[in-house]
Structures are given as C-alpha cells and as structure tokens.
C-alpha cells in the first residue's frame, strides 16, 4: 500500500521536472546554429536554471551574461563560467539590489553593438528583482506599493498594472532599450493565459490595455499619475514560452495514470481568496470518485497588519485541513512550483484528516493561525510543510487532491 503523502510528492516532482528551466531552455535552443556571439540577460526565480540551459545548448557561443535572481537561487555551477555576472535583487519587495540590477541591464543594452544577438530570459519574480525607477518615484515609494500589494489580496494582473506605471524598464521598455540589437525573448509563464506582457510586468512586451486604476487607494493612484513614466514601448521582439502551468499539469496526469490512479485536471485556474478556494477544492474532491484532481493557479490572501509565517499555499492548506478534519480518505497538497510560499522558505504543505489534531497537540489553534496569517507555524508543528528549495522553475501553484477508497488503496 503506497503512502498517499509520498505519492503526492512524487506527482509534484513530476510536474516540476516537466517545466525545469534548464531542460526547457536547452530544448528551445537546440540546433540554433544561427546564434554565434550571444549575450544573455536572465531575470526571475528561474533565471539561473534558464541560463544553464542556454549554456548547455550554445556553450562558448554565449560570450556575456547578466543573471538576476533572488538570494539562494543561483547555485554554484554558474560561477564556473566566464563572462557571467550574477546579481541579487529583492523579493517579494524590491531593494537596492533590484535597482542595481536594473541599472546593469540598461548598461548592458548601452554596451551592445548594433545587431548584437541578445537573448532575454524571463520568469516569475522578475517584477521585484530588477527595476529602474522614474525620477519622481523613490525606492521607498516602490517598497510601500509592494507591501500594500502583498497585503491587498488583489490578483497579480492588477498588481502588475501598477508596477508597469512605476517603471522605466517594464511594459516593453527594456526591449526598446535593446532595440538596436537582434533580440529574442524566452519565458517561463506563471500568469493566466501565458501572456508575455504579464510575466515580470512586461519585461518582454507591452500590455495591450492601459493600467486600470479603478479601486486603488488614493495615494497609489496619485503616485501612478505623477510618475512621469514614458508611454509603453511599441518595440517588440519574438518571444517563446518554454514552460507553463499546463505542461506541469499534463505531466502530473501522466504520472498518476502510469501509477494506475485516475486523474482529472481542471482546465480553469484556481484563483481568488485562498480560504474560498480550499472550500471549492475539498467540496469537489469529496463529491468525486476516488482518484486525483489537479488544479493550478494562484490564490490570494488579505493579510492582517502584522502577519505571521506562511503564504497563500500554506493558508489554503490549513483552511482545507479544517474541512477534512477527522477524515481518512482525503490528502491534499498545495505548493508553489518555485519552491517558496509567501514569507517562508517552504513551498507549501500536504494536509490530511489528522493535521488539525497534530497541530492542536502542539498547543496551536488553527483558527487563530489563519486569522493571523500564521499558517506556516501551525503546519510546521503538525509536520505537514513541503520544503524543496529553489526548483529552477516557476509556473504558479499546484494543488492536488487525492481521494482514496476505503482501505486506503491507491
């Protein structure tokens, strides 16, 4: 009899492997004999992996590279290559490193000669990791906006619309800076519709519609209006999506079926409030026949003034644990494909009918932890956290619900 928790972790690993940034970039650039002297600019949580994939495919034909990611996401292998500069930016809140990375990106564009082959490799997280601000916007302004956005519970599309107005490199402007070069873009998508204009708030392309300021706090609207940012750049470059949520879900389905477990993949993305999403996930799983249901997407959490430890996946998992408390037929995984969740170093959690009792035995109350956005502390006590470290990809969150027949057979 297979352990359901181990089985869900195997499926999660299969999903991650299918969208591995190194593997996907190596495949995307295989046979590209037309690329001879190549410069790279990679930014995002999967930047290091995507760069290694480009190096696997192109080797010494990559003569220069700037790689921007968050602390702990580089690994040691990049340091063995000449001509590569690695810079650390702030995430999820931009910092001085983010501004230094933005300045370095524009410097790279200025140094590139006309016709220089440049590959822009972008993945989720780029919005905060690299930035160049308009003269009227300060880093303190940007950090205030970022902290507000994190606590607001707004979907990422609305948040990125604000970020685009407070930037000199987003909304296609970075591509315009490299307009004299032969530029190509490659991205791993963590956004709805796999729209290149949304990944990294438009590092690769301008959005089709202007930012929607409706419903924003007054101070945010004033900051946007007074930013003095140039209009979105009309410059464009060919872009290729090398990995997305659907790829990960397809791999999970294939792995489940190979193990003899029926699997249904939900085509729509799970979004909105994490607690409401937990109710939907548990309700559908309870009503379904035995087997696996797989979702993908990104939910939101409206944070209290002083949030505890955790993120949207841990919040959803703890909310789900309350709903399946005492049951022995359901096990659920909620985890981020980038290996991080909110302000924690954990990817998410796996919960079952015993989660609540295990946490309470440690002296914690699930309702209090949810109210204080402190789900990570409860789930650590219950032994349910999932920790992967940096994964080399980022296609959003994966949510897996396994329902077993009596007797716990898979």
3-state secondary structure of 294: strand
Residues 122 and 250 in one domain: no
Distances (CA, A) of 275 to 270, 271, 299, 301: 12, 11, 9, 8
Residues 139 and 217 in one domain: yes
Token representation of residue 210:
């202007």
pLDDT at 151: 87
Token representation of residue 269:
């993305």
Residue 97 counted as domain residue: yes
pLDDT at 203: 92
Distances (CA, A) of 246 to 53, 202, 261, 402: 21, 21, 19, 19
User: How long, in residues, is the chain?
Assistant: 410
Distances (CA, A) of 135 to 98, 139, 281, 330: 16, 11, 46, 54
Residue 198 counted as domain residue: yes
Residues 257 and 238 in one domain: no
Residues 270 and 217 in one domain: no
Residues 6+ apart with CB under 8 A from 52: 21, 22, 25, 77, 78
* Type and span of the H or E element at 161: helix 156-165
Q: What is the CATH number of the domain that holds 255?
A: 3.40.1480.10
**Residues in a beta bridge with 86:** 67
Residue 333 counted as domain residue: yes
Residue where a domain terminates, one of 243, 263, 295:
243
Token representation of residue 209:
């519609």
Of residues 279, 374, 371, 377, the one with CA closest to residue 332: 279
pLDDT at 382: 98
> By CB neighbour count within 10 A (0-12 exposed, 13-18 middle, 19+ buried), where does 155 fall?
middle
Residues 221 and 313 in one domain: no
Residue where a domain terminates, one of 228, 243, 258:
243
For residues 400 and 256, give the distance between their C-alpha atoms in angstroms, rounded to a whole number.
Answer: 11
pLDDT tens-digit map of 128-155: 999 999 999 999 999 999 998 888 888 8
The domain total for the chain is 2
Residues 267 and 212 in one domain: no
Residue 409 counted as domain residue: no
pLDDT at 134: 92
Residue 280 counted as domain residue: yes
pLDDT at 212: 62
Residues 6+ apart with CB under 8 A from 234: 172, 176, 206
351: containing domain: 4-15+245-403
* Type and span of the H or E element at 276: helix 274-287
Residues 261 and 182 in one domain: no
* Type and span of the H or E element at 369: helix 366-371
Token representation of residue 288:
């379904």
Whether 336 and 302 have beta carbons less than 8 Å apart is answered as no
Residue 408 counted as domain residue: no
Residues 186 and 51 in one domain: yes
For residues 98 and 95, give the distance between their C-alpha atoms in angstroms, rounded to a whole number.
Answer: 5
pLDDT (tens, 9 = 90+) of the chain, 410 residues, equals 579 999 999 999 999 999 999 999 999 999 999 999 999 999 999 999 999 999 999 999 999 999 999 999 998 899 888 889 999 999 999 999 999 999 999 999 999 999 999 999 999 999 999 999 999 999 999 999 999 888 888 887 788 888 888 999 998 999 999 999 999 999 999 998 999 988 998 899 988 766 566 678 888 888 888 777 766 666 678 999 999 999 999 999 999 999 999 999 998 999 999 999 999 999 999 988 899 999 999 999 999 999 999 999 999 999 999 999 999 999 999 999 999 999 999 999 999 999 999 999 999 999 999 999 999 999 999 999 999 999 999 999 999 999 987 655 56
Residues 270 and 140 in one domain: no
Residue 410 counted as domain residue: no
Residue 269 burial (CB count, 10 A): 17
Residues 297 and 314 in one domain: yes
pTM, to two decimals: 0.94
Residues 238 and 275 in one domain: no
Token representation of residue 118:
């440049």
Residues 215 and 67 in one domain: yes
The angle, 0 to 180 degrees and rounded to 10, between the axes of the packed helices 274-287 and 312-323 is: 50
Residue where a domain terminates, one of 210, 243, 276:
243
For residues 119 and 239, give the distance between their C-alpha atoms in angstroms, rounded to a whole number.
Answer: 10
3-state secondary structure of 320: helix
For residues 83 and 133, give the distance between their C-alpha atoms in angstroms, rounded to a whole number.
Answer: 27
Of residues 308, 288, 286, 313, the one with CA closest to residue 298: 313
> By CB neighbour count within 10 A (0-12 exposed, 13-18 middle, 19+ buried), where does 60 fall?
exposed
Of residues 238, 198, 152, the one with CA closest to residue 44: 198
Q: What is the CATH number of the domain that holds 213?
A: 3.40.50.10180
């Amino acid at each position: 009899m297979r352990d359901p928790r181990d089985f869900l972790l195997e499926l999660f690993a299969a999903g991650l492997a299918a969208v591995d940034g190194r593997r996907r970039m190596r495949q995307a650039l295989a046979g590209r004999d037309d690329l001879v002297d190549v410069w790279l600019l990679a930014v995002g949580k999967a930047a290091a992996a995507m760069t290694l994939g480009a190096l696997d495919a192109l080797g010494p034909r990559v003569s220069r590279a700037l790689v921007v990611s968050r602390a702990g996401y580089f690994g040691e292998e990049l340091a063995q290559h000449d001509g590569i500069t690695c810079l650390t930016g702030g995430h999820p809140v931009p910092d001085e490193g983010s501004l230094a990375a933005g300045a370095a990106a524009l410097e790279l564009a200025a140094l590139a000669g006309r016709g220089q082959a440049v590959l822009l490799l972008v993945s989720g997280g780029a919005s905060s990791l690299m930035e160049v601000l308009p003269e009227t916007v300060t880093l303190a302004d940007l950090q205030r906006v970022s902290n507000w956005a994190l606590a607001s519970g707004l979907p990422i599309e609305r948040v990125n619309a604000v970020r685009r107005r407070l930037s000199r490199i987003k909304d296609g402007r970075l591509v315009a800076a490299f307009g004299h070069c032969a530029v190509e873009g490659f991205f791993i998508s963590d956004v709805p519709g796999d729209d290149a204009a949304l990944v990294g708030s438009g590092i690769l392309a301008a959005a089709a519609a202007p930012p929607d300021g409706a419903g924003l706090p007054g101070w945010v609207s004033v900051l946007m209006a007074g930013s003095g940012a140039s209009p979105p750049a009309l410059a464009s470059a060919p872009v290729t999506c090398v990995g997305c949520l659907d790829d990960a879900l397809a791999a999970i389905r294939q792995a489940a079926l190979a193990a003899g477990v029926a699997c249904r993949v939900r085509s729509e993305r799970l979004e909105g409030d994490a607690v409401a999403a937990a109710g939907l996930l548990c309700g559908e799983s309870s009503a379904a026949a035995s087997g696996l249901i797989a979702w993908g997407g990104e939910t939101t959490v409206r944070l209290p003034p002083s949030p505890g430890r955790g993120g949207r996946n841990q919040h959803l998992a703890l909310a789900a644990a309350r709903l399946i408390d005492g049951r022995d037929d359901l096990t659920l995984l909620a985890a981020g494909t980038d290996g991080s969740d909110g302000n924690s170093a954990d990817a998410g959690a796996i919960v079952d009918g015993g989660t609540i009792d295990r946490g309470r035995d440690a002296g914690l109350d699930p309702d209090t932890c949810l109210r204080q956005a402190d789900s990570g502390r409860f789930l650590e006590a219950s032994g349910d956290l999932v920790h992967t470290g940096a994964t080399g990809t980022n296609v959003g969150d994966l949510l897996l619900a396994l329902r077993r027949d009596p007797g716990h057979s898979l």
